[in-house]
Amino acid sequence: MPTSKSQRGFTLLELLVASSLGLIVMLMMASLFKVGMDATFTVTQRAETQQNVRAAMELMTKDISLAGGGLPSGGLQLVTGGSVSKFGCNQTGTCYVPGGTYPNSGGGVANYMYGIIPNFGNGVQSNTVITAAPALTNSSITSIYCDYNFPLSNFTFTFPTSTSVGVAVVNGAVQPNNILAPGGLNKGDLIMFSVSTPGNGKTSSGTSLVQNAAVVAEITGIPNNSTINFAAGDALNFNQVGGGTGNNLATVATAAAGANAQTSACRLNAVSYFIQVPAAGGTIQTPRLMRQVNGLDAVPVADGIINLQFTYDVIDSTAGTIVANQQNPIGAGESPGLIQKVNIWIMGSSLTTDAKRSQSMYLATSVSLRDMSFCNSYSSSSTVCQ
């Protein structure tokens, strides 16, 4: 007969102890896994936010650094006696920047185009409240400069009527030779026509030129490669035919008819940056930074931008000293034509959220305006600013 031997098993106490130890080890591993996942999520949020903020900052600094390029020294008087011209609006009448009209000049005359136009307190389209943003005033900014990516030096211009301009190509073999070529002129673009005559001064390249007239007009139509229309009633209110004086094609036509007159043109870029809070299906979406040029539609630059602020270093034209970090230079009676540096603060918020948790970060920089006014602080008599 086979005999059986008794074998000792686990007691209940041993089983409980082993199970408890196993459970503790599993909990520790789960905790470590969660910590790792949280760290990965945090890094992802910060990288995403930083990427958006840096992309916005790089594009803004490029446009702002070009402010004033190609404009007359100190700015340009637009039409007077009529309606104030606008910026930040498209061809359908949508105005993205609240109260976006050109300011007064130093003499108190309205409708003056500077290279930089500070827009304090109107940085969000339709003045929408951004609940996630800190309690700081959002502002927008407009930078204006000549666009030389599509140079108009290969064209000559005539002014047959007060609402149209004739275009002729100087050399067909030179590019561009078509104003409608890719990257060329569009309805809503701003064109600055300048008329100069030879002066008495001499430069390294020959006789200097004296500017007699400079006019800005908005394109309302381009029927063909040889005609540009500038009809009244344009979206930005530049072409005020008969409604004001100074800034109209008749002014530049008269100057161009003078002896030895030389006419040149450039497309201006009036670039406005502001924050938009889009709504889709009744739900408020993530705020984003927008870029709008001339009378064209605004395009998004970076998502997750919730705060936009600017301060300005401005020359005091009387004392010749710098007034640093001026938040609202126009409101303080300072001329935008004497802005020397723009200080920028952008705040971004992460798009990726976890249980409604998000991260925010600031990015700040300063941009010197190389094409803006010159102030001679070393004059023997008094400070001379232009």
Please indicate, yes or no, if residue 154 is contained in any of the structural domains.
yes
pLDDT of residue 188: 96
Residue 278 lies in a domain: yes
- Integer angstrom CA distances of residue 28 from 15, 17, 22, 33: 20, 17, 10, 9
Does 27 reside within a domain? no
Q: Does residue 244 or residue 183 have the better pLDDT?
A: 183
Residue 17 lies in a domain: no
Report how far residue 325's alpha carbon sits from residue 315's, in angstroms, rounded to the nearest whole number.
11
Write the pLDDT tens digit of every residue in 50-92: 888 999 999 999 999 999 999 988 889 898 888 899 999 999 9
Q: Is 16 domain-assigned?
A: no
Residue 284 pLDDT exceeds 70: no
- Residues spanned by the domain of 320: 46-385
pLDDT exceeds cutoff 60 at 382: no
Closest to 76 in 3D by CA, of 291, 340, 336, 305: 336
Nearest to 192 by CA among 141, 222, 243, 230: 230
Of residues 239 and 9, more confidently modeled: 239
Give me the chain's average pLDDT, please: 85
* ∠ CA 190-195-198, rounded to 5°: 150
| Predicted confidence (pLDDT) at residue 123 exceeds the cutoff of 60 | yes
d(CA 77, CA 73): 11
Distance CA 295, CA 235 (A): 7
DSSP 258: S
Beta carbons of 351 and 303 less than 8 angstroms apart:
yes
Residue 149 or residue 379, greater confidence: 149
pLDDT above 80 (res 28):
yes
In a domain, 289, yes or no: yes
pLDDT in tens, 145-168: 999 999 999 999 999 988 999 999
Is 241 domain-assigned? Answer: yes
315 and 332 in contact (C-beta within 8 Å)?
no
Checking if the pLDDT of 42 tops 80, the result is no
Write the DSSP assignment of 170-196 as a string of letters. S-TTSSP--TTSTT---TT-EEEEEEE
Q: How many domains does the chain have?
A: 1
Asked if residue 39 belongs to a domain, the reply is no
pTM attached to this predicted model? 0.84
Q: What angle (nearest 5°) sits at the alpha carbon of residue 69, between those of residues 65 and 70?
A: 170
pLDDT at 384 over 50: no
**Of the candidates 35, 34, 110, which has an alpha carbon nearest to the alpha carbon of residue 75?**
110
